């Protein structure tokens, strides 16, 4: 495959993907400089092993996290009239959030507001607490719906707290995730490539978008993108649980790397520059052992920033190894086997 690629292919590790928007920082640090398209691959345990699904357009929702504290006046449960009960205020606020979806959100656009934690502190059974903490998320595919929900969630917590004599403070995540919208052309290229690897019958259209969030959306917002769902469901090995479950297991797919690189092949063939492959040090070390190459002379560096020839297309040129090492010790240049 290396000899067929005449363009530049960057393999990007996803640092801080879960909630901290690592892709946004990668863009700021130049990860997409000179990039004409980007292709992502995500495993899913409810798609059969060996099946790849893609869709063009909205694929994952935008998401933001809220952290709300409702402050009241605590006291003894025998004398609730002397308190400003934050538990009551918080409970009513959770109920008041529901009409934001059933009465204020276009049912064809969709949205989700979830309160996932309700914490009154250690306390005791006969004590009304001083404050209550709630955390959760909002999700939507449509940017306007997303902005509306964000404002109205804040309104509900503030207004309900005031109604019951309390105060509310709300904090949002520093990096909200935008909706992931994929490109028609990039998706078609990826679908064609996937069909060559897993077979036409196993390369399928993703039937519907998901309310999950993914920081790949930052990359897709800058250049044409495709995002493939790779099935790993395998009841024999127990690969049936959600990815965030402590029981999650992965059904290994030998075609995964080939599938991912094949997606880049049609795009890279249109380029004229040498192939530039970037991968994590963990996978590079595995590939080194598989090839039987000698260990790198500088322990812990694994050849960071070295120049190599790929498929006879020439040297990569200068690499800012100091900057690469500072940003992520795990990113190296390496020949893909």
Q: Cβ–Cβ contacts within 10 Å for residue 144, how many?
A: 10
pLDDT at 183: 94
The pair of structure tokens assigned to 90 is 């918080």
Lowest mean pLDDT among 176-180, 230-234, 274-278: 274-278
Task: For domain 2-61+179-273, say whether CATH 3.40.30.10 is its number.
Answer: no
Model-level pTM? 0.69
Lowest mean pLDDT among 9-18, 83-92, 144-153, 299-308: 299-308
Lowest mean pLDDT among 16-30, 134-148, 282-296: 282-296
Domains of the chain, residue spans: 2-61+179-273, 62-172
Taking only the tens place, the pLDDT of each residue in 35-69 is 889 998 888 887 888 899 999 999 999 999 999 99
What is the rounded CA–CA span in Å between residue 252 and residue 167?
A: 51
- String of DSSP letters for 178-223: PPEEE-HHHHHHHHHHHHHHH-GGGEEE-SS-BS---THHHHHTTS
pLDDT at 1: 58
Tell me the percentage of the chain whose pLDDT exceeds 70. Answer: 67
Does the pLDDT at position 92 exceed 90? yes
Tell me the percentage of the chain whose pLDDT exceeds 90. Answer: 47
Q: Between 3.30.70.360, 3.40.30.110, 3.40.50.2000, 3.20.20.80, what CATH number should domain 62-172 receive?
A: 3.30.70.360
- Bigger pLDDT: 295 or 53? 53
């Amino acid at each position: 495959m290396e000899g067929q690629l005449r363009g530049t292919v960057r393999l990007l590790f996803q640092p801080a993907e879960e909630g901290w928007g690592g892709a946004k920082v990668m863009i700021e640090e130049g990860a997409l400089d000179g990039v004409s398209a980007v292709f992502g691959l995500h495993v899913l345990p409810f798609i059969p092993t060996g099946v790849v699904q893609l869709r063009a357009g909205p694929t994952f929702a935008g998401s933001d996290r809220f952290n709300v504290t409702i402050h009241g006046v605590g006291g003894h449960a025998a004398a609730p009239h002397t308190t400003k009960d934050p538990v009551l205020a918080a409970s009513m606020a959770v109920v008041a959030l529901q009409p934001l979806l059933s009465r204020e959100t276009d049912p064809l656009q969709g949205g989700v507001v979830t309160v996932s934690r309700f914490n009154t502190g250690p306390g005791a059974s006969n004590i009304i607490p001083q404050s209550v903490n709630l955390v959760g998320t909002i999700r939507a595919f449509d940017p306007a719906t997303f902005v509306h929900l964000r404002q109205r969630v804040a309104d509900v917590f503030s207004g309900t707290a005031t109604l019951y004599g309390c105060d509310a403070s709300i904090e949002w995540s520093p990096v909200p995730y935008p909706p992931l919208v994929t490109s028609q052309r990039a998706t078609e290229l990826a679908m064609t490539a996937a069909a060559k690897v897993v077979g036409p019958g196993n390369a399928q259209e993703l039937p519907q978008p998901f309310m999950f969030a993914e920081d790949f959306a930052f990359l897709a917002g800058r250049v044409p993108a495709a995002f493939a769902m790779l099935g790993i469901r395998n009841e024999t090995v127990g690969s049936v649980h959600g990815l965030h479950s402590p029981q999650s297991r992965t059904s290994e797919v030998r075609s995964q790397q080939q599938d991912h690189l094949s997606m880049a092949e049609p795009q890279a063939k249109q380029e004229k520059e040498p192939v530039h492959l970037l991968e994590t040090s963990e996978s590079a070390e595995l590939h080194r052992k598989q090839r039987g190459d000698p260990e790198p002379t500088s322990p812990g560096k694994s050849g960071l920033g070295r120049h190599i020839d790929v498929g006879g297309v020439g040297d990569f040129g200068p690499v800012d190894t100091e900057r690469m090492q500072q940003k992520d010790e795990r990113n190296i240049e390496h020949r893909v086997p």
